[in-house]
Amino acid sequence: MASDQENSQDANAPDDTSEKEITRGITIMKSIIRDRDKAVTYNVNWNADNQLIGSNAAKLASYIGTLVRMHIPITTTRWSNKELGSAKDKIWTEILRSFNIEDTTIRKKYILQLAGKRHRGWRTFLTNKYLKDKEKNLLNMIRNIQDENFKKVSATNRERASNPTYAYKKGRLGYARLEEKILDETKSDATSLPPHVLWKEARVGKDGTVRDDVQHIYDECETLSQSISTAEDQENRSVLSRALNVPEYPGRVRGKGHGCTPTSLYKNPRRRNPSNQEVMETLQALQAQVLQLQKDNERYRCMEKCSSQLKETSEKASINCQNKFPEGISSCQLYLSSPTYRLVGKGKVHNTSGDLLHHRPLPDGHLKVSVDVVLDKDALLPIPDIVSETTFLRDAIGSFVAWPLDLIFIDDEVFAQGSQQLSQKIGSRQKNKRDLPVTSLPKKGAFVPRYQISLETLVDSSDMATAGAIRLLDMEEDIFGYSCTETIGKEDLEHIFRHQELGVGVIHTYIRFLYDNFMRGNDQLSNRFRFVSSSLVNKALICREPDSCREYLVKRFMASSTNNLYLWPYNSGCHWLLLAIDPLKEVVYFLNSIDGEWTNYPDMKQLVDTSIKVFRSQRQARVPRTKSSNITWIKVQCPLQRNGIDCGYFVMRFMREIINMNQIEIPITYFDEYKCAHYTRLQLEQIKEELCQYFIEKIDYIMVSK
């Protein structure tokens, strides 16, 4: 087609062409085809705004036009036609054969958008060449299908293009390559230039002179850029748009050229309007948060009513000792209630009579605390320190601040709460559900970790008191799909006694406890719930041996013929979270006690998605083409931890509650029977008590191997 077109141009050319502009004409890029047959490929470069630059950029742009003319029918009126999907894929495949481009979504989108521009240019050429008369008017057969709106828009655009106010004078160079040229000539260390700088340089002629009106716009941009912040520039109109007094089109940045978007240019990309579903989900989350805050507020009011009145103090006293807190200095946790109720730091509360803060009386309802650890770096002080001009908690480490009484909690205060309600709640399960054995807890007074104390005494009186002593616990094949032996050392038990971060040995031991006390002998539960070994699939192995991790998961999924929920405690290297996978329904429940997203763990997500697809293929399941990649991930609104060490204890309790509820599907708002904003220390101590009791029961068995 290209050759015929060129012949047609020669036949119709006028005799006198001396004053007619010489155009490049239509190219078929034979050199690229020859090099492709020789397995020669071209390298291309991209700038900081993900735009095509480099010596081969023009060659690629021309080749894209050739492929468009080759694979896109001339009868196609719109590039967005869904029927062009296979043709667009063919264009992308051909480009990858000759040019070294990453096969990613962002690169493919850029190339196909550029191909769309070439398609519009090709259709414009055909229209001007064959569908217009000598006066450049469309033929009657074409005019008849035009509506009045089209004629109006066409006339406006034609008039604007024929006499532009600020003419572009760089030909095919483009903004991206112009920017590259300027940076190379000036030998600048910058990676990009402001849009108004490029806009001005693109309107400088060959003689190097700058028109006064162009210079005026540039000077106005320079003035505006000093008074408008980047965020304001992003959210409203750019500096260049303001100076030109023209509207800004969505998805483009004026003065930067094809491919540059607000997302790539600004650090904080423009946000799209949320969908109705997202709005409803946000509303439901806010309603649940408000309900929890109301409950917390009611609890705090009850605590205040039970608190003793202030004692009398001296004239210098700012507050009296609070009976609610131990007298003297005590370790405490510091909370804030706005905008959300959360743990923000740790320190020491000074509950002493006559205490002052920076030689000034403390506000009513506050105590003096010293800040030792900050858990939320963006947390603001309840009352800014006017002496040191401190407003952020992170800047108050090592100093004293005033903190509200109802937001200070002594570290061991949760133990004083009664456990009777918890025991009654667990005992109210439906009779057809087998509940886990509940550790006997005192009805009144502080919680006593009896089994922890007993196990610690037992360990100290055995050879495990010496460094390096270990015990071996056999793990049956039914637990992880293979037989193995778990090693338990003294340091693992010390982590439980001292409430420290847990290792994989403790997590696996608790899984063995769940299997022995909950699933063994119960065919319904053992056929419904299964476990994935954290020793065979974790972050380190996923990065180092992804194939072996995938093979293990697929083999594990293939072990069942009915719907199973696979519980996988996943260790990201410094944090435990729980995945509950239903491979037949292709649903993954994501339970994270720090409220993170699964997108924060891309290697883990990719492994799970790939394993489910391989499992689907091996069982020869038929999935609609439109849903072939739609593996459902559900973020469960589970209880959240208040510190940086409780994740392992939360994961163990999640597994216990899921099995106890005997449900394959986990509600997105978690189970009503266990729904709460945070687990109390008492609820976590119950898990530790069950684990220690299991160690004591098995101690004779696991002491056989050393």
* Better-scored residue on pLDDT, 387 or 282: 282
SS (H, E, C) 362-384: CCCCEEEEEEEEECCCCCEEEEE
Token duo for residue 163: 């006499």
Report the distance separating Cα 119 and Cα 156, nearest Å: 22
With bands split at pLDDT 50, 70 and 90, how would you rate the model's confidence at 314?
very low
pLDDT at 388: 65
With bands split at pLDDT 50, 70 and 90, how would you rate the model's confidence at 568?
very high
Residue 651 in this model has a pLDDT that exceeds 90:
yes
Residue 659 in this model has a pLDDT that exceeds 80:
yes
Look-up: residue for tokens 């006593």? 448
pLDDT at 266: 62
Task: Read off the pLDDT of each residue in 18-32 and give the average, rounded to a whole number.
Answer: 63
pLDDT digits (tens, 9 = 90+) for 355-395: 677 777 888 888 888 887 777 778 888 888 766 677 888 88
How far apart, in Å, do the first and last CA atoms of the chain sit? 82
For residue 150, what is the enclosing H or E element? helix 148-162
With bands split at pLDDT 50, 70 and 90, how would you rate the model's confidence at 411?
low
Q: With b meaning 16 or more CB within 10 Å and e meaning fewer, what string describes 83-94?
A: ebeebbeebbeb
Residue 237 in this model has a pLDDT that exceeds 70:
no
pLDDT at 299: 56
pLDDT at 405: 84
What DSSP string describes 254-281? TTT-TT--HHHHSSSPPPPPPPHHHHHH
Q: Helix %, strand %, coil % for the chain, to 5?
A: 45, 15, 40
Asked if 319 contacts 298 with a C-beta cutoff of 8 angstroms, the reply is no
CB atoms within 10 A of CB 73: 9
CB atoms within 10 A of CB 604: 21
* Better-scored residue on pLDDT, 230 or 514: 514
pLDDT at 140: 57
With bands split at pLDDT 50, 70 and 90, how would you rate the model's confidence at 417?
very low
Residue 93 in this model has a pLDDT that exceeds 50:
yes
Look-up: residue for tokens 């729904």? 675
Task: Read off the pLDDT of each residue in 192-196 and give the average, rounded to a whole number.
Answer: 82
DSSP category for residue 443: S
pLDDT at 241: 79
Report the distance separating Cα 194 and Cα 196, nearest Å: 6
Report the distance separating Cα 668 and Cα 563, nearest Å: 19
pLDDT digits (tens, 9 = 90+) for 40-82: 889 988 888 788 888 888 888 888 888 888 888 888 888 888 8
Q: Helix, strand or coil for residue 92?
A: helix
pLDDT digits (tens, 9 = 90+) for 323-352: 567 777 787 888 887 777 677 888 888 887
Residue type, 558: M
Report the distance separating Cα 297 and Cα 303, nearest Å: 10
Report the distance separating Cα 387 and Cα 368, nearest Å: 15
Report the distance separating Cα 529 and Cα 566, nearest Å: 6
Look-up: residue for tokens 């004053």? 19
Look-up: residue for tokens 């006339």? 155
Smallest CA-to-CA distance from 256 within 233, 227, 228 is with: 233
With bands split at pLDDT 50, 70 and 90, how would you rate the model's confidence at 296?
low
Could you tell me the CA-to-CA distances from 105 to 111, 116, 146, 345, 361 in Å, in that order? Answer: 10, 16, 37, 42, 61
* Better-scored residue on pLDDT, 145 or 266: 266
pLDDT digits (tens, 9 = 90+) for 470-483: 788 888 898 999 98
Which of 128-142, 608-622, 627-641 has the lowest average pLDDT? 128-142
pLDDT at 633: 93
Asked if 550 contacts 611 with a C-beta cutoff of 8 angstroms, the reply is yes
Asked if 346 contacts 332 with a C-beta cutoff of 8 angstroms, the reply is yes
